[in-house]
């Protein structure tokens, strides 16, 4: 779990733009590209960690490691799978600016998550107790925080900021359920039971720790005495350089089709869309730009492929009349016809097709056939309308999987007109949505990037987006 030097901390605070300029080195890879079966719950890209906020530099919840460490971890996963177990990672490469962010947390007033992560420790003591370091091996690309999954693990709970905090040393069935086996404590637990040689844990947790440690040691990983989840790969000792490139979405590296929508500002209801296709390492414009309208209240940061909690600007909520800003995958195409000229999966809408916008429903933010599904919602949108707005549409994967109240039922669809905003979707002329239908190809991993112009200009370099 380690943090950084005062000089680097000051540098990151004073000139964050300089940090953004550092590119991802070639030897650093996304773990998903090497070992896609390893589960990921990247805590520092969320507020569910000991600081209570997403750390600086985590712009996407992705695990990156040196290629040798990633391949070694893949071998561990293969060995564990043969025994009925698996891995889940909580943190991997950590930008130096995130380490500095940890250090800054100890200097500010407030302990928003103390009750869960360090109920018996003063945060000023993190360093001398060994829970946080001035320079972290995580920033060198060789260290990973992880746990063990298996058939007897409790299902993973969905964390929300309003969730009741439970002591990380509480019994397995009482503390936060992270989807892993009982390891004696939760992740990021700053307490003696988290030490690898602790006698304060039960026999089951000891056996699970031993299974995890043994599997990792066979592939060159060594543990850390204060944290049962912390392991460093020793197979490439030449990796000593501290890195500070931001963690950005893998999807942008693998996508070959982009739809980029920009508006003048957060509250503007009109925008411009442009299609792009990848040619080698760069994106080039495809076709002409076209007009769109967005939510009646403009844009707000949505729940997509990036982490935006720490950014300035509004955050999307259910019923706010705002279209989501960020990077989003595209899902099912739908329409009134029995079939459509599209490579996307297509849903022919019936009179019973609904999109559930009741955040208390298990079907929240899903397209369902109300005649075949047991109804547990009080609010939904009928998809087969009396007008032509949904004659052709595409589901935008915002808030997927769904977090209650974060916004639902976001589509590309046909507009009422070039000055008529939506309730939160992005709408356009029928001819232009027809072009999207025929152009989009799920094999090309298409994405929607939707931002106000000022945010696009600020993020273009770090997200490796094309010029507008």
Supply the residues annotated as catalytic. 227
Taking the alpha carbons of 214, 220, 224, 225 in that order, is the dihedral positive or negative? positive
Which string of b and e fits 77-88 if b means at least 16 CB within 10 Å? beebeeeebbbb
- Identify the H or E element spanning 433: helix 430-439
DSSP for 85-101? Answer: -EEEEEE----HHHHHH
**DSSP of 204-248:** HHHHHHHHHHHHHHTTTEEEETTEEEEEEE-S-TT--------B-
Helix (H, G, I), strand (E, B) or coil at 274: strand
Q: Which residues are 88's β-sheet partners? A: 39, 147
Tell me the torsion sign for CA atoms 305, 251, 248, 258: negative
- Bridge partners (DSSP) of residue 145 are 91, 230
Other CB atoms within 10 Å distance of the CB of residue 3: 27
The structure tokens 């946080």 sit at 132
Q: In what order do the strands lie in the sheet with 86-91?
A: 39-40, 86-91, 143-149, 227-233, 221-224
Give the Cα separation of 333 and 132 in Å (integer): 48
Cα Rg of the chain, angstroms: 23
Query: Going by DSSP bridges, is the β-strand pair 299-301/323-335 parallel, antiparallel, or unpaired?
Result: parallel
């Amino acid at each position: 779990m380690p943090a950084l030097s005062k000089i680097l901390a000051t540098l990151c605070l004073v000139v964050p733009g300089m940090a953004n300029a550092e590119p991802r080195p070639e030897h650093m890879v996304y773990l998903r590209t090497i070992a896609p079966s390893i589960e990921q719950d990247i805590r520092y890209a969320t507020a569910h960690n000991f600081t209570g906020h997403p750390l600086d530099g985590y712009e996407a919840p992705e695990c990156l490691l040196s290629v040798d460490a990633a391949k070694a971890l893949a071998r561990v996963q293969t060995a564990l799978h043969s025994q009925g177990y698996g891995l889940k990672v909580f943190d991997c490469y950590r930008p130096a600016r995130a380490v500095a962010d940890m250090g800054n947390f100890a200097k500010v007033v407030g302990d928003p998550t103390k009750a869960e992560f360090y109920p018996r420790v003063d945060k000023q003591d993190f360093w001398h107790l060994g829970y946080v370091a001035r320079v972290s091996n995580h920033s060198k690309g060789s260290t990973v925080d992880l746990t063990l999954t298996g058939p007897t693990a409790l299902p993973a709970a969905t964390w929300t900021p309003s969730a009741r905090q439970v002591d990380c040393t509480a019994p397995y069935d009482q503390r936060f359920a992270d989807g892993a086996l009982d390891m004696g404590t939760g992740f990021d637990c700053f307490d003696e039971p988290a030490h690898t040689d602790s006698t304060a844990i039960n026999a089951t947790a000891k056996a699970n720790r031993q299974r995890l440690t043994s599997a990792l040691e066979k592939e060159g990983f060594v543990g850390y005495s204060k944290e049962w989840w912390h392991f460093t790969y020793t197979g490439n000792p030449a990796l000593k350089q501290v890195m500070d490139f931001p963690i950005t979405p893998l999807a942008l590296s693998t996508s070959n089709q982009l739809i980029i929508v920009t508006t003048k500002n957060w509250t503007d209801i009109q925008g411009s869309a442009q299609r792009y296709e990848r040619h080698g390492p760069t994106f080039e414009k495809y076709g002409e730009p076209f007009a769109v309208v967005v939510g009646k209240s403009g844009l707000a940061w949505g729940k997509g492929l990036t982490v935006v909690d720490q950014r300035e600007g509004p955050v999307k909520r259910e019923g706010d009349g705002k279209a989501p800003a960020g990077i989003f995958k595209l899902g099912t195409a739908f329409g009134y016809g029995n079939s459509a000229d599209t490579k996307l999966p297509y849903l022919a809408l019936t009179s019973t097709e609904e999109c559930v916008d009741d955040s208390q429903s298990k079907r929240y933010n899903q397209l369902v056939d109300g005649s075949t599904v047991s109804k547990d919602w009080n609010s939904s949108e009928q998809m087969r309308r009396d007008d032509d707005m949904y004659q052709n549409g595409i589901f935008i994967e915002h808030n997927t999987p769904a977090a209650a109240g974060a916004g639902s039922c976001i589509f590309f669809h046909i507009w009422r007109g070039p000055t008529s905003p939506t309730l939160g979707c992005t709408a356009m002329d029928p001819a232009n949505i027809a072009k999207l239908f025929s152009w989009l190809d799920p094999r090309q991993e298409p994405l929607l990037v939707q931002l106000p112009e000022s945010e696009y200009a600020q993020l273009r370099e770090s997200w490796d987006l094309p010029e507008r």
